[in-house]
Amino acid sequence: MSFVEAARAVGISTRTGERWRNGRGASGRIKAYPPINAAPAAEPGSLSRYLREAERVHIADRLLEKATIRAIAAELGRSPSTISREVRRNGTVLADGRWHYRPYTAQRRADARRPRPKTGKIAKTSELRDFIQSHLNLRWSPEQICHALRRRFAHRPDMHVSHETIYQALYTQGGTGLRRELPRTLRTGRARRLPRRLADRRRFRAVKNKVMISQRPREAADRTVPGHWEGDLILGRKKHSAIATLVERSTRYVMLVHLPDGYNSAAVRDALIATINPLPPNLKRSLTWDQGTEMAAHRGFSIATNVPVYFCDPGSPWQRGSNENTNGLLRQYFPKGTDLSTHTPEELQAVAAELNNRPRKTLDWATPAERLHKLLAA
């Protein structure tokens, strides 16, 4: 039943029902009292969310009769996974080494686990908390940290958490033990989730003699052949400065291009030529860009490097997904609204090296540098 229906069935007002359910704080001469926790026994045949003591007694009796988990679940009208999880979680080992399921012990354990709120695993385990904090300071994502924990502490379940647990610990900041400034290390730098917004209207930008992405070789789309790059700009304060970003589609290797003389088409062309030309021939196959006017001199770039340039459809950033994701990562190092011209080429190389040595889920948790090294060694 809903709360209103339950109050009506019992014969009380919803206000009284709220006091029964939530308890009451002290006010003047009225003493505080806790919520009513003693729920009446469920009627036969009705199922609650939690197993009842009678059901646990039935499970114990049927286990002694060597009944299967599925047979017990069918008799109780429960899922087989519910019965299996209950037996596995609440079984005990006797002094002689035999395993046994005791229903009343199982009921006490379940009652002890049920009260909320609980102290989280991150707050209880200092080793786990230090590991998470140190890797957040390295700008690792919660999912990368979660996988690293499972690899490094494979036989220690107490050191395993999900990435959502880390996010919740960062967002709530309530007794988790994590420092309050750590949310700034997340990709977004925010301490709370925000709803998605619709994209702004885009202006049409004319680039002459462009070749569309539909004519790009099929080998670039499936990422099996290295040497196909995606590129874009990240802009600084008031769009007065920029950094060009290049991401190799197969290995996700990142290169950052310094643009000290602005980001007009000639400056971008010359900087990209100086960056691409030193690469070996098997890493120079194509470049995919959006329809920004900074690539208006793409013909000159292709003549100098022998690398064709393909342009995405208007308003289709997913056609350069690796580059868009990388630009999001780079905003941790180059926040929006800052002057990007103050960063030296050495600083850009250091940032790129940090990204290229960070494990990636899409690479089966290898790093882009490792993948590129294998290609160059082959």
Q: Is the peptide bond preceding residue 359 cis, with omega within 30 degrees of 0?
A: no
Predicted confidence pLDDT, tens digits, the chain (378 residues): 888 888 888 888 888 888 888 877 777 667 776 777 644 444 444 567 789 999 999 999 999 998 999 999 999 989 999 999 999 888 887 777 777 899 999 999 888 888 777 777 888 888 998 898 889 888 888 899 999 999 999 988 889 999 888 888 887 755 556 766 677 778 777 767 666 554 445 555 668 888 999 999 888 888 888 999 999 999 998 899 999 999 999 999 999 999 988 999 999 999 999 999 999 998 999 999 998 889 999 999 999 999 999 999 888 888 999 999 999 999 989 998 899 999 999 999 999 999 999 999 999 999 999 999 988 887
Nearest to 56 by CA among 94, 109, 97, 98: 109
Element of type H or E holding 349? helix 345-356
- How far is the CA of 145 from the CAs of 134, 135, 139, 160, in angstroms? 10, 7, 10, 10
Q: Are strands 309-311 and 211-212 parallel, antiparallel or unpaired?
A: parallel
- How far is the CA of 59 from the CAs of 48, 79, 112, 177, in angstroms? 16, 13, 20, 40
CA distance 323 to 163: 23
Strand partners, 30: 27
For the record, the structure tokens of 42 come out as 């469920």
Nearest to 360 by CA among 350, 370, 348: 370
CA distance 40 to 106: 20
CA distance 243 to 263: 8
Residue 203's pLDDT is 56
- How far is the CA of 299 from the CAs of 267, 281, 306, 307, in angstroms? 14, 19, 10, 10
Overall residue count recorded for the chain in this entry: 378
> Residue 70's Cα: distance from chain center in Å?
36
Nearest to 369 by CA among 254, 234, 215: 254
Residue 195's pLDDT is 62
3-class DSSP state of 212: strand
3-class DSSP state of 98: coil
- Are the C-beta atoms of residues 233 and 292 closer than 8 Å to each other? yes
CA distance 332 to 334: 6
CA distance 274 to 262: 16
> Residue 48's Cα: distance from chain center in Å?
33
Residue 24's pLDDT is 74
Strand order in the sheet with 228-235: 211-212, 309-311, 286-289, 228-235, 242-248, 254-257
Element of type H or E holding 57? helix 53-64
CA distance 77 to 63: 16
- Between CA 228 and CA 213, with CA 256 as vertex, the angle to 5 degrees is 30
Question: What does 104-128 look like in DSSP terms, one character per residue?
Answer: HHHHHHHHHH--SS---HHHH-HHH
Element of type H or E holding 344? none
Domains of the chain: 1-27 (no CATH), 53-113 (1.10.10), 121-185 (no CATH), 211-377 (3.30.420.10)
Nearest to 19 by CA among 9, 7, 29: 7
Residue 45's pLDDT is 47
CA distance 252 to 362: 9
Q: Which long-range contacts (CB under 8 A, 24 or more apart) does 61-67 make?
A: 63/87, 63/101
Nearest to 215 by CA among 324, 319, 311: 311
- Are the C-beta atoms of residues 160 and 115 closer than 8 Å to each other? no
